[in-house]
Amino acid sequence: MLQRVHKEPLSLNLGGELISLSRPLVMGILNVTPDSFYAGSRTTGKEQIAARVRQIVDEGADIIDIGAYSSRPGADDISPEEEMKRLSTGLEIIRMLYPEAKISVDTFRSEIAARCVHEYGVHIINDISGGELDSRMFETVAGLKTAYILMHMKGTPQTMMRHTHYEQIIPEMLFYFSQRIARLESLGVNDIIIDPGFGFGKSIDDNYLLMNRLDEFSRIGLPLLVGISRKSMIYKHLDSSPEESLNGTTALNTLALLGGADILRVHDVKEAVETLKIVTKTIQPIA
């Protein structure tokens, strides 16, 4: 009998609306970058962005996650001005097409986070650095009263793959989260989502160990996001490419749901929604 890790019912306050996590959510990726690791996800022109937004919504995503700064290993740094310019184009299109859409912004810069919330009503700040790349991020999120995705990463997108050594990765990561969760809660941040950061400063073996022990992060008691869509932990292990990694993504999304994931961050929304429906139909919670 397939079983899912038992969790107390969780919810998120997104713009004043309480969103239940009794059913896991699907977050569709909108990359407004020219250099994302997965070429099929890159959208730059307005028509291309609009088509991608419609696809994400039509295929059943609960949240749109827009990012303008590529976090692939070795990605080029871009200025805050360029990042905001790209985001503004995408956010204007989302708000024009779907005014009520739930939106997450993938940024580690507090000034960008604040502008996206104030100007476009964004609901979630998705920070790959866990507050490490901008010392004002935690205080900014607290003031914005928005939900915050706290991800684990060592180093920066440019250096993270030089920081893949751990004495004991699971205890180190749990300590990392406990410190930052305590600080966020002390500042008054009420809606914290944790993300183990698959592929960010971790070897292929580390990534699969994390997936095997995902329940340990689920048991922290906060919503758990998993983002493994078409990542190198799949295509390097299978000697393929991001373009050939949909099957592996679906397999790992299934394992993530069984491990207690509350949100799946994906490029392929339709396939993730179908995976979620099938897993939900099949599983029995572990008591």
- Read off the pLDDT band of 5 (50, 70, 90): confident
Q: How far apart are CA 156 and CA 142, in angstroms?
A: 23
Q: Which amino acid is at 170?
A: I
Range of the domain at 106: 3-285
pLDDT of 278 over the 60 cut: yes
**Residue pLDDT, tens place only, 234-270:** 999 999 999 999 999 999 999 999 999 999 999 999 9
- pLDDT at res. 285: 58
Strand partners, 125: 105, 148
Residues with active-site annotation: 231, 265
What is the helix (H) or strand (E) element at residue 246, kind and residue range? helix 246-258
Residue 184 or residue 3, greater confidence? 184
**Residue pLDDT, tens place only, 96-143:** 999 999 999 999 999 999 999 999 999 999 999 999 999 999 999 999
The tally of CA atoms less than 13 A away on the side-chain side of residue 94 is 31
Q: How far apart are CA 212 and CA 190, in angstroms?
A: 28
**Residue pLDDT, tens place only, 161-178:** 665 678 899 999 999 999
**3-state class of 103 per DSSP?**
strand
Q: Which amino acid is at 245?
A: S
Q: How far apart are CA 109 and CA 232, in angstroms?
A: 25
Q: How far apart are CA 13 and CA 145, in angstroms?
A: 9
Kindly state the percentage of the chain with pLDDT values over 70: 90
Q: Give the pTM.
A: 0.92
What is the helix (H) or strand (E) element at residue 84, kind and residue range? helix 80-97
Q: CB neighbours of 167 closer than 8 A, spacing ≥ 6?
A: none
- pLDDT at res. 40: 60
Count of the separate structural domains present in the chain:
1
**The pair of three-digit structure tokens given for residue 96, joined into one six-digit string:** 């024009």
Local structure of residue 42 (DSSP, 8 states): B
Residue 159 or residue 27, greater confidence? 27
pLDDT of 201 over the 90 cut: no
CB atoms within 10 A of CB 49: 23
**3-state class of 36 per DSSP?**
coil
- pLDDT at res. 3: 75
Name residue, tokens 């890159």: 42
Q: What is the CATH number of the domain that holds 36?
A: 3.20.20.20
